[in-house]
């Protein structure tokens, strides 16, 4: 990227204070920024961050409205984080290499439907009766199964797999190695062996969803596994068959949801959190890292621990647990005293 501070201010709907003609070539944090970088300052400014601002070498800093620039070049913005995210988006788009048209090595079934301005990378495969929307970009080695659908302006990184009868909405981003629609883990034991239950349902991923690398979302046994609009899924997440994830959820790395569980709107599962099967997790629930949820959780609760419980209770117990060595020493002294005076 090469732009002036004034150009960037127009993009983020901000106001320049200082040298609007300064040239910006990249973006970085306050501490790492060079004289050709733009940086940003969060709205909740604390003393350490203020020190970094004073010492930064950045060409300009995106700051909250009314912030004291102290002689530096700044762009005052309603939401500095949003402004900086827009700048990073511009840099990402400029640096990203996308296929032009449909690569000669791609295999597109004659019954597949391709929208306008579709880009398909090398060795990708589009199976029969698949539907690819306008402006979709599929990088190299992407597989789209029979009768699956990809909505307008979605972007798939290399080696994404959509199995048959899967639907992905508009403006979705799927990162390398994500697998959508693999078989749910369904077996029953009879005749001395595990017998497979065929998984004949599908997966629906709604609009504006982002799914991280090597994440797996299983197809339903019957019916639908659903990922709600605007939900963001990190790398290495497992979503089992028939799970219903509501809108605007955050599923962080290595979290897992067992079959037929329902998540409400805006649920957050921190890293390695696990949710057992056939549960209902209410709107706005937040589960801490490594939480093990084995029962329904009412809306708005914050839970942590295994088994998960309200955060305040878990913190009290953790605090007491850490005091056990000292308490044991006290107990030992009391016991020895009683035995001596016995």
The CB-side HSE value for 85 (13 A sphere, CA atoms) comes to: 5
Q: 71, 92, 76: which is closest to 27 by C-alpha?
A: 92
Residues belonging to the chain = 342
SS (H, E, C) 118-139: CEECCCCEECCCCEECCCCEEC
The dihedral sign for the CA sequence 99, 104, 106, 107? positive
Report the chain's terminal Cα–Cα distance, integer Å: 82
Task: Return the exposure string of 296-306: e unless at least 16 CB atoms fall within 10 Å of the residue's CB, then b.
Answer: ebeeebbbbbe
**241 is an active site residue:** yes
Ramachandran class of 169: left when φ > 0, alpha when ψ lies in -120 to 50, beta otherwise:
beta
102 CB-contact burial (10 Å; exposed 0-12 / middle 13-18 / buried 19+): middle
- 218 vs 29: CA distance, rounded Å: 38
Put the strands of the sheet holding 244-245 in their side by side order: 113-114, 131-132, 149-150, 167-168, 202-205, 224-227, 244-245, 262-263, 280-281
- 67 vs 47: CA distance, rounded Å: 14
Q: 69, 144, 77, 136: which is closest to 108 by C-alpha?
A: 144
Name the strand (E) or helix (H) holding 233: strand 232-233
Instruction: Write the CB contacts of 64 (distance below 8 Å, at least 6 apart in sequence).
Output: 41, 43, 45, 76, 77, 80
Query: Of 109, 123, 175, 241, which residue is the catalytic one?
Result: 241
Catalytic positions, please? 241
């Amino acid at each position: 990227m090469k732009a002036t501070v004034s150009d960037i201010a127009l993009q983020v709907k901000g106001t320049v204070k200082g040298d609007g003609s300064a040239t910006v070539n990249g973006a970085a944090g306050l501490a790492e920024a060079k004289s050709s970088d733009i940086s940003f300052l969060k709205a909740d400014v604390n003393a350490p961050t203020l020190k970094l601002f004073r010492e930064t070498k950045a060409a300009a800093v995106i700051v909250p409205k009314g912030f004291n620039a102290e002689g530096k070049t700044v762009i005052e913005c309603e939401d500095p984080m949003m402004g900086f995210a827009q700048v990073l988006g511009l840099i990402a788009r400029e640096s990203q290499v996308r296929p032009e048209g449909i690569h000669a090595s791609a295999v597109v079934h004659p019954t597949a439907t391709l929208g306008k301005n579709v880009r398909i990378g090398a060795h990708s495969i589009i199976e029969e009766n698949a539907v690819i929307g306008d402006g979709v970009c599929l990088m190299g080695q992407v597989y789209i199964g029979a009768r699956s659908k990809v909505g307008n302006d979605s972007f798939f990184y290399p080696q994404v797999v959509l199995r048959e009868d899967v639907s992905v909405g508009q403006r979705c981003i799927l990162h390398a190695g994500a697998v959508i629609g693999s078989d749910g883990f369904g077996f029953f034991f009879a005749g001395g062996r595990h017998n497979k239950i065929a998984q004949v349902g599908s997966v629906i991923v709604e609009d504006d969803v982002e799914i991280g690398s090597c994440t797996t979302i299983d197809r339903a046994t019957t019916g639908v596994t659903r990922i709600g609009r605007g939900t963001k899924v990190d790398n290495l997440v497992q979503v089992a068959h028939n799970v219903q994830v509501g809108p605007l959820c955050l599923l962080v790395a290595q979290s897992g949801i067992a079959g037929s569980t329902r998540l409400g709107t805006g649920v957050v599962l921190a890293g390695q959190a696990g949710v057992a099967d056939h549960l209902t997790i209410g709107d706005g629930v937040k589960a801490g890292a490594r939480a093990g949820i084995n029962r329904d959780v009412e809306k708005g609760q914050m839970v942590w621990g295994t088994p998960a419980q309200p955060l305040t209770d878990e913190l009290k117990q953790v605090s007491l647990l850490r005091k056990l060595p000292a308490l044991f020493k006290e107990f030992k002294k009391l016991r020895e005293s009683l035995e001596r005076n016995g």
